[in-house]
Structure 1
Amino acid sequence: MIAYLILVHRYPEQFKRLFNAIYHPFNHYLVHIDKTSGEALLNDITLFLEDYPNSSVLESEDALWGGYSLVNIELRGMEKLMEIDKDWTHFINLSGQDFPLKTQEYIHDFLSKNENKEFIYALDQNKTRPDTMDRIANMSFESEGQIYRPNMPREFMDGVVPFIGTQWMIVSRRFCDFVCHSEISKSYKKFYKHTFIADEGFFQTVMMNNDCHGEVVQDDLRLIDWVPDGDIKLRPRTFTVIDEPELIVSNKLFARKFDLLQDAQIIDRIEHHLSSSL
């Protein structure tokens, strides 16, 4: 059984197609709608989910790129999903512009065969991404929809090695329970609350410095084409129909990102592929 947390900030019709593509009555679905997206989006999605008793909406908060709010939403989502059901085994986070490349039957079978594995990029930050060490070496503050990065140097956590990856993961309930509820994780939350782009390092650093997980597989099982976006940021390129061959043959479970307004045909093609795989 899978627990999904889906982060949405626009495109309700695209979200509905994603939801239908990943829906299975044995799973649990929790949806967070960015508070800045407005009540119309929240009401639309809430009404849509009323037909699915194994789904619910997480109380909205502002989701600011680069801020700890993204980590906080993930933690609240994990905790809420553990309250909802005690039997799910894997947690998967998605954005509303992701789409599955495999059926739920395939994903269930895959995870049952990899029951004690954590699918997450978790790399030694100093060795593999030394250019990002300033994210943790200088304090960052999130306030009223803005990120503030004054010149306030600090030491990293004593006896802890910083790790880095992406925001996306497929992790065990065991890890979710540890990161949400253990006393040990509190010090990580305190430090990363003032860390720039904390969602790419917090979960990895907790995992790799503690015995709270299964075998770590350096793969988040997402097909993403990262392209430059400014001096410090990479963004996922939007897939279009010309990417269909790569998407269809990929061994990844999900891909991001898609834009229904830019190219609806690629979503049509993947939906057809999934339905023909049943």
Structure 2
Amino acid sequence: MKIVYLILAHRYPDQLIRLVNKLNTEDTHFLIHLDKKVGRYEYHYIHNALASNGNVDFLKRHTCNWAGFGIMKATYEGIKFCVENNIACDYLCLMSGQDYPIKSNGFIFDYLKAHEGKSFINFNSLPNPIWTNHNGGLERLTNWYIITDKQRYGFPNNLFSSRPRLSKLFKNTIGKVIPKRKFPSGFKPYGGAQFWTLHSKHVRYVYDIIQSHPDFFNFFKYVMVSDEFLFQTIMGNYPQQAELINTTLHFLEWDRPGAVLNYKDRENLRTTEHLFARKFDCNVDAEIIDYLDSHLL
């Protein structure tokens, strides 16, 4: 069993290095994407700490703004690198630099071996009530979104999200003449959690779909939080649905500031069936990662 971890990181070099070292075995490989906004010093610090490992590759870098398409380009960079360089891979696991395992490496390998041939990805047909705004998620696809480092602009809706009256005025005037986007034909839209673990045959399937449908891939340039829709749509339309397990292997808690896990979450982390958890911030609570190392891992 060979596991490739595709890690998207944008800060906290020491936390990223700790994550790689914790997951590192003779049967793992790491594809690391460092946000282009990461400074030169931090980049070389990480590179010098990990590059000597024979199982670490650093990917071509993209600028990754929250909710923007750069995250998709970074993720696909890893998929493409894995396929085109024939990296030994039974499973490709997408992670962030602020994730951490909550099961041992042996448990993770045994778990994936027991489900060999299956992929783990959360996907829901749209519209779906899990998105309480944006018409069940559909408006994230049918609006035009321009994402920058500091702002998100939506046409014809959500242009001035912080100023409701101005947003409503725009929607009822200029917004009426801006056509909504049409979802690519041949695909039914799906959305779900960003992080997935795909079997190699499904990694190849995603690669082939994007290679053969460049217009489909480019459609997501103007989608709000495209990382919750692109791969979910591809696999939601996959013909052999019995090969998919509709879940994420990540434990997440979003109903708190910054969605950062802390020491008070230790019992939930200990008892959950998930393999990984996010997110952790050593500047907020370093004790929880120490607890995971000493009690779970």
TM-score by length of 2: 0.84
* Residue aligning to 1:44: 45
Secondary structure of 1:272's partner?
A: helix
* Residue aligning to 2:187: 160
- Asked if residue 141 in structure 1 is aligned to residue 156 in structure 2, the reply is no
Deviation per CA, 1:165-191: give whole Å up to 9, x if none.
Answer: 011000122222222234544332022
Residues 109/121 of structure 1: CA separation in 2 closer, same or farther (3 Å cut)? same
* Residue aligning to 1:254: 276
Q: Aligned equivalents of 2:113 and 2:264: distance in 1? A: 33
Q: Aligned equivalents of 2:261 and 2:75: distance in 1? A: 25
* Residue aligning to 1:232: none
Q: Aligned equivalents of 1:221 and 1:161: distance in 2? A: 24
- Asked if residue 198 in structure 1 is aligned to residue 203 in structure 2, the reply is no
Q: Aligned equivalents of 2:244 and 2:255: distance in 1? A: 26
- Asked if residue 131 in structure 1 is aligned to residue 131 in structure 2, the reply is no
Paired residues for 1:54-65 under 5 Å: 54-65=55-66
Q: Aligned equivalents of 1:11 and 1:228: distance in 2? A: 21
Q: 1:135–1:195: 8 Å Cα contact kept in structure 2? A: yes
CA drift of 1:157 comes to 2.2
Q: Aligned equivalents of 2:155 and 2:280: distance in 1? A: 35
* Residue aligning to 1:91: 92
Deviation per CA, 1:195-242: give whole Å up to 9, x if none.
Answer: 12111000011111233776221211111011277xxxxx5x211111
Q: 2:68–2:148: 8 Å Cα contact kept in structure 1? A: no
Secondary structure of 1:223's partner?
A: strand
User: Structure 1: which amino acid aligns with 2:181?
Assistant: R
Aligned-pair Cα RMSD in Å: 2.0
* Residue aligning to 1:227: 255
Deviation per CA, 1:124-183: give whole Å up to 9, x if none.
Answer: 121344432111111223467754433241222234221000110001222222222345
Q: 1:121–1:204: 8 Å Cα contact kept in structure 2? A: yes
- Of residues 74-83 and 252-261 in structure 1, the stretch that sits farther from structure 2 once superposed is 74-83
CA drift of 1:269 comes to 0.8
Secondary structure of 1:255's partner?
A: strand
Secondary structure of 2:255's partner?
A: strand
- Alignment partner for residue 245 of structure 1, among 235, 246, 267? 267
Paired residues for 1:260-275 under 5 Å: 260-275=282-297
Deviation per CA, 1:54-96: give whole Å up to 9, x if none.
Answer: 0011121111111111111111111112234443111101111
CA drift of 1:38 comes to 1.0
User: Structure 2: which amino acid aligns with 1:179?
Assistant: V
Residues 120/107 of structure 1: CA separation in 2 closer, same or farther (3 Å cut)? same
Q: Aligned equivalents of 1:256 and 1:10: distance in 2? A: 14
Residues 185/228 of structure 1: CA separation in 2 closer, same or farther (3 Å cut)? farther
User: Structure 1: which amino acid aligns with 2:155?
Assistant: P
Q: Which runs of no fewer than 5 residues in structure 1 stay unpaired? A: 230-234
Q: 1:175–1:213: 8 Å Cα contact kept in structure 2? A: no
Q: Aligned equivalents of 2:243 and 2:155: distance in 1? A: 38
**Quick check: which has more Rg, 1 or 2?**
2
Deviation per CA, 1:104-141: give whole Å up to 9, x if none.
Answer: 11111111111121211100121344432111111223
Q: Aligned equivalents of 1:25 and 1:84: distance in 2? A: 19
* Residue aligning to 1:215: 243
Residues 211/184 of structure 1: CA separation in 2 closer, same or farther (3 Å cut)? farther
Could you tell me the percent identity over the aligned residues? 29
Q: 1:118–1:213: 8 Å Cα contact kept in structure 2? A: no
TM-score by length of 1: 0.89
User: Structure 1: which amino acid aligns with 2:243?
Assistant: E
Q: Which runs of no fewer than 5 residues in structure 2 stay unpaired? A: 157-177
Secondary structure of 1:7's partner?
A: strand
CA drift of 1:5 comes to 0.8
* Residue aligning to 1:171: 198
User: Structure 2: which amino acid aligns with 1:135?
Assistant: R
